[in-house]
Amino acid sequence: MTQNTEGRRGLDPDVIVKSALAVADTEGLDAVTIRRLAQEHQVTPMALYRHFKDKDDLLQALADRLLADVVLPEADDQPWPDQMRSNLDALLTALRPHPGVAHLTLPRILTSAPGLALAERCLALLVDGGFDIDQAAEVGRQTLCSLVALVAAEPRLDPRTDEDGREDAIAARRAALATLPASRYPNVVAAAGTLSYCENPERYYQIGLDLAVAAMVRTRPRP
Amino acid sequence: MTQNTEGRRGLDPDVIVKSALAVADTEGLDAVTIRRLAQEHQVTPMALYRHFKDKDDLLQALADRLLADVVLPEADDQPWPDQMRSNLDALLTALRPHPGVAHLTLPRILTSAPGLALAERCLALLVDGGFDIDQAAEVGRQTLCSLVALVAAEPRLDPRTDEDGREDAIAARRAALATLPASRYPNVVAAAGTLSYCENPERYYQIGLDLAVAAMVRTRPRP
DNA sequence: ACCTGAACACCGTTCAAGT
DNA sequence: ACCTGAACACCGTTCAAGT
């Protein structure tokens, strides 16, 4: 009442996580430090330990927040591969704005409630598709792992570089591939443009979903 | 001659990388510090900066070393999916002993010579399978990303825990899943055993390869 | 209950200096 | 050319103390 503009008093853990996410998105995960967050909230570093056990606990809360943003589509009567694709797309949509911290969600999928909801839905669809429960578990786990990795590995530049620096960095990356000996790496040289940066993120993730669903469909036990 | 048992004098960068890898494998990536490595080689921390530009440079050298261990099979007249599987298997074989640092290889695949050799081979096989070069680039990149992630995410315990601790940790993990409300997460509960740890790594990676190759085969443009 | 202040045991890295 | 020593600007975290 006295020190904050809002009615809440003291530090709000959700607000800490929110600013941690903002720092991670704009300056990278390395910039997320207890001391930095304390400074932003005009408080002593030790004040954060009243709300989080340690730094890892804070990062888990951050990951859980990302998973909480996953909007699972309602189950319907579409074929299971289409429903699977929708569910996986929901995960990508939640993670894509935060590529620098997306990988933190992987260990939380089987721990947090929203993660479990996603996992449960995927398992149900796989079982529906003909997998036994153990196969479904393995296939589901690996598929989710792949998609999280896809977001984390999306070719991107340091978010701190400005417009001019971006073009230069991309050009440098392309040149590094394009000037390789074409006799030894003909295909890499030919694909230099595509490999040097992510021209079209939509296409990138569309292919990612295509591959994930195709893998499931083709791997499922045929009756 | 005087201070080392071998004829070489001074610090050998390869030896530094070797011990860095040993530390990472036994105590985790966080234990790999400039100061720790300096101490192990009975030298001042600053001595390492004569051989590596900074810590990131050292970790890149570590990643390059992993990729150098990839033994690519000779090209033969088998169908392209079989050859692809052999190549991806070669990557897994090299990375599997080092799950804690496997993710460092991803940005080095298109940078280091052994990484480029692997990428070139994969692209060639995809083009052979009917993909145009841009599709091949996107599919190849995402597939390699998925497999690297698979190694990095292999369910494993902290390598520092002893035998008894391992069993307890696994049991705890399984209990966490098995005691979830079965009404809300029936499939997760049913798969608790499979999801709680990696009972059979061979099966884990076999399914990983199955999914990767199946995705490519089913996604390729049909004539 | 919630936050502060000082301290500890670490980091990566710079600079100037030794040999 | 290669290594040392001291210092700087950071970390996460503990402990005891304040209100």
Chain segment A143-189, per-residue pLDDT in tens = 999 999 999 999 888 878 877 788 888 999 999 999 999 999 999 99
Tell me the pLDDT of chain B averaged across its residues: 94
User: How far, in Å, are A16, A167, B46 from residue A161 at the CA level?
Assistant: 25, 10, 30
> In the prediction, which pLDDT does A199 show?
81
Show residues of chain B in contact with A134, CB under 8 Å.
191, 193-194
Q: Is B106 on the interface with A (CB under 8 A)?
A: yes
Give the confidence band of B140 by pLDDT, cuts at 50, 70, 90: very high
What average pLDDT score do residues B46-64 get?
A: 98
Give the confidence band of B62 by pLDDT, cuts at 50, 70, 90: very high
What average pLDDT score do residues B199-205 get?
A: 93
Q: pTM of the prediction?
A: 0.95
Q: Answer whether residue B1 shows pLDDT above 50.
A: no
Q: Is B30 on the interface with A (CB under 8 A)?
A: no
Residue contact A120–B150, C-beta within 8 A: no
B46/D7 CA-to-C1' distance in Å: 13
What average pLDDT score do residues B21-50 get?
A: 98
Q: How many Å lie between the alpha carbon of A164 and the closest alpha carbon of chain B?
A: 23
Show residues of chain B in contact with A133, CB under 8 Å.
187, 190-191, 194
pLDDT, one tens digit per residue, over A25-81 is 999 999 999 999 999 999 999 999 999 999 999 999 999 999 999 999 999 999 999
> In the prediction, which pLDDT does B5 show?
38
pLDDT, one tens digit per residue, over B165-190 is 888 889 999 999 999 999 999 999 99
Most B CBs within 10 Å, among A29, A142, A207, A210, to test the B interface: A142
Interface of B with A in 137-156 (CB under 8 A): 137-139, 141-143, 145-146, 148-150, 152-153
> In the prediction, which pLDDT does A28 show?
97
What average pLDDT score do residues B140-153 get?
A: 98
Residues above pLDDT 70, as percent of chain B: 96
User: What is chain A's Cα-based Rg?
Assistant: 21
Q: Is B75 on the interface with A (CB under 8 A)?
A: no
Q: Answer whether residue B76 shows pLDDT above 90.
A: yes
pLDDT, one tens digit per residue, over A179-216 is 999 999 999 999 999 999 888 899 999 999 999 999 99
Tell me the pLDDT of chain A averaged across its residues: 94
pLDDT, one tens digit per residue, over A106-152 is 999 999 999 999 999 999 999 999 999 999 999 999 999 999 999 99
> In the prediction, which pLDDT does A155 show?
82
Give the confidence band of B7 by pLDDT, cuts at 50, 70, 90: very low
The secondary structure of chain B as a DSSP string is --SSSSS--S--HHHHHHHHHHHHHHH-GGG--HHHHHHHTTS-GGGGGGT-SSHHHHHHHHHHHHHHT--PPPP-SS-HHHHHHHHHHHHHHHHTT-TTTGGGGGGGTTTSHHHHHHHHHHHHHHHHTT--HHHHHHHHHHHHHHHHHHHHTS----TTS-HHHHHHHHHHHHHHHHTS-TTT-HHHHHTHHHHHS-S-HHHHHHHHHHHHHHHHHHHSPP-
Q: Which nucleotide is nearest to A12 (CA to C1')?
A: C2
What are the residues whose beta carbons fall under 8 Å from the beta carbon of B216, sequence distance 6 or more? A211, B81, B84, B126, B129, B139, B143
For residue B210, the chain A residue with the least C-alpha distance is A219
Higher pLDDT, A157 or B44: B44
A48/D6 CA-to-C1' distance in Å: 34
Most B CBs within 10 Å, among A174, A195, A216, to test the B interface: A195
Q: Answer whether residue B6 shows pLDDT above 60.
A: no
pLDDT, one tens digit per residue, over B80-139 is 999 999 999 999 999 999 999 999 999 999 999 999 999 999 999 999 999 999 999 999
> In the prediction, which pLDDT does B155 show?
82
> In the prediction, which pLDDT does B103 show?
98
pLDDT, one tens digit per residue, over B147-166 is 999 999 998 888 788 777 88
Q: Is A124 on the interface with B (CB under 8 A)?
A: yes
Is-contact A80 A133, C-beta < 8 A? no
Show residues of chain B in contact with A214, CB under 8 Å.
214-215, 218-219
Q: Is B56 on the interface with A (CB under 8 A)?
A: no
> In the prediction, which pLDDT does A9 show?
58
A193/D13 CA-to-C1' distance in Å: 47
Q: Answer whether residue B3 shows pLDDT above 70.
A: no
Rounded CA-CA distance A145/B47 in Å is 39
Q: How many Å lie between the alpha carbon of B8 and the closest alpha carbon of chain A?
A: 33
For residue B125, the chain A residue with the least C-alpha distance is A187
- Which of B111, B137, B180 faces A194 most closely, judged by CB atoms? B137
Show residues of chain B in contact with A149, CB under 8 Å.
145-146, 148-149, 152-153
